[in-house]
Chain A
């Protein structure tokens, strides 16, 4: 069974970098799937922010391109997210998920999510 688990600091200082990791278990990250990050601000809806393939091919939400990077570590079966220059607007629950396409497709397995608060 595919399982995803997010990890990272729950509190980030404004202007610093948010770094999260998603560890995949029960499934090889090198299989023919893409891997994504989605966030949900408190009381708000869902927002796709980035996707990556094990080869390194990646896509970012256009509004975040200047601040975001996503990478994959096939040796550890995980992928990661870095978001620089964070503000309070980046406070959200961050989910990692499996998807079948870089941008055009659905998300069939999700992690439980991790709350990241941006505050001094």
Chain B
């Protein structure tokens, strides 16, 4: 069981906005550790999507945005596109485990 909890799946129609939550605790997100997000297309390696809570690497579309508050973080996709259909993972550090940890993952389906 991951210490970072994500919904197993979210879905939306093309053009809609979807949000993926990443719920942690006082030993990870709530302790102030940064949250990062990855997109994993089927059969490929994860790709860094958001780093340090809200920053997008070069080449990542502006429709992806990240936020963090308290013991949780969120990834929003505005103007959902067919090519956004993938698995998404949050990642942070947990001081109780002394380890970098990933969320349980969320499958995004474009209806």
- State which residues 14-49 of A face B: CB under 8 Å: 45-48
Shortest beta-carbon distance from A36 to chain B in Å = 8
* A104 and B100 in contact, given A45-B2, A110-B47, A112-B44 (Cβ under 8 angstroms): yes
A103 touches B45 (CB 8 A): no
User: How many of chain B's residues have a CB under 8 angstroms from any CB in A?
Assistant: 25
Partner of A45, one of B52, B99, B102: B102
Summed over the interface, the residue pairs from A and B with CB atoms below 8 Å come to a total of 54
Give chain A's interface secondary structure class. loop
Shortest beta-carbon distance from B103 to chain A in Å = 7
Shortest beta-carbon distance from B88 to chain A in Å = 11
Partner of A106, one of B2, B45, B52, B97: B52
Instruction: Give the interface size class of chain A.
Output: 10 to 19
B51: interface (CB < 8 Å): yes
A53: interface (CB < 8 Å): no
B57: interface (CB < 8 Å): yes
Interface residues of B (CB under 8 A from A): 2, 33-34, 36, 38, 44-48, 51-52, 57, 89, 91, 93, 97-105
